[in-house]
Structure 1
Amino acid sequence: MSTKFESVFQKDTIGIGRRKRATARVFLVPGEGNIVINKVPGEKYLQYNVTYLNTIWAPLKELNLEKQFDIIVLVRGGGLTGQTESIQLGVARLLCQMNSQNRSILKPFGFLTRDARIKERKKYGLRKARKAPQYSKR
């Protein structure tokens, strides 16, 4: 999927974050602290949920950079929670690319840890991954 964002930004300035089925491509541009997710204002996209917004801003707040950058994100897959956490990982990775000293600050907060938990696959003979049909003795 090629977009106008990718032509403006170089490959080395993309922070990629993943969580569950969500994948986020994050770009940081100098600005005054706005979020744009899939060409929609971040507050509207995240349904004005303060928890989601704080999750995205957390890495920048730890480095006192929240009013210096705008966050532009292209995200696909998953739900809002997975997308939010994938954006957070993308932002943290991008900050580490920009300055290697940021890594030692962000690592203890867990911003650089990829959460590997994904949905378990369905097995044959079962209704879901582990849910079995009702057992009848007689």
Structure 2
Amino acid sequence: MTDTSNSLQDLGTLTGAPSAQPVKSVEPKIDAQGRAYGTGRRKEAVARVWIKPGSGKIIINGRDQETYFARPVLRMVIAQPLIEAGRATEFDVIATVKGSGLMGQAGAVRHGISRALVAYEPGLRAVLKPFGFMTRDPRVVERKKYGKAKARRSFQFSKR
């Protein structure tokens, strides 16, 4: 055993040992107005979301969230990332969303808020990722196939 090392410093000089690389810190992405941006998508809906420090006000397409998303479930969906991150009353949210229906739009806004929060505070990624807020939901409407009435439904079968 002539090839043994006597100290930890010698281990770094051995061939084949991976070199220690410094951990790259992620910088916040904040524009000149102090806002962070995130794009959210769900089904056919696309949401462009800006967050800035404020009192917790949420504006969607120029309207208050209570007006745009009248159902409480939809308001709960868009507030989830802010609540889980513990920032519900710290940020104002301005979003423009188009396409799909109300549920798809709410999911897109939630995705956009999550991305904007991570752009503003990169440390929140570890908090939001386990809840699935950072992942784009891949479920979309299945296409219609030829020879079928809908995506999977067949035409009515008549034996005679």
Do both share a fold (TM > 0.5)?
A: yes
Structure 1 gap ranges (5+): 1-7
Write 1 or 2 for the structure with the bigger share of helix. Answer: 1
The match for 2:145 is: 123
TM-score (norm. length: structure 2): 0.75
Deviations 1:77-115 (A, max 9, x none): 111111101110111111111122111111111111211
Question: Taking CA–CA contacts closer than 8 Å with sequence separation of 6 or more, which of the two structures ends up with the larger relative contact order?
Answer: 1
**Which aligned pairs between 1:103-122 and structure 2 lie closer than 5 A?**
103-122=125-144
The match for 1:44 is: 67
Matches of 1:95 and 1:70, distance apart in 2: 11
The match for 1:86 is: 108
Structure 2 gap ranges (5+): 1-31
Whether the aligned pair in 2 keeps the contact of 1:31 and 1:70 (CA below 8 Å) is yes
SS of alignment partner, residue 66 of structure 1: coil
1:16 equivalent among 28, 39, 53: 39
Task: Quote the RMSD (CA, aligned, Å).
Answer: 1.8
TM-score (norm. length: structure 1): 0.86
What is the aligned length?
129
Deviation of 1:45 after TM superposition, in Å, equals: 0.4
SS of alignment partner, residue 14 of structure 1: strand
Percent identical pairs in the alignment equals: 44
Matches of 1:25 and 1:34, distance apart in 2: 16
> Stretches of 4+ moved more than 4 A in 1?
none
Deviation of 1:50 after TM superposition, in Å, equals: 1.7
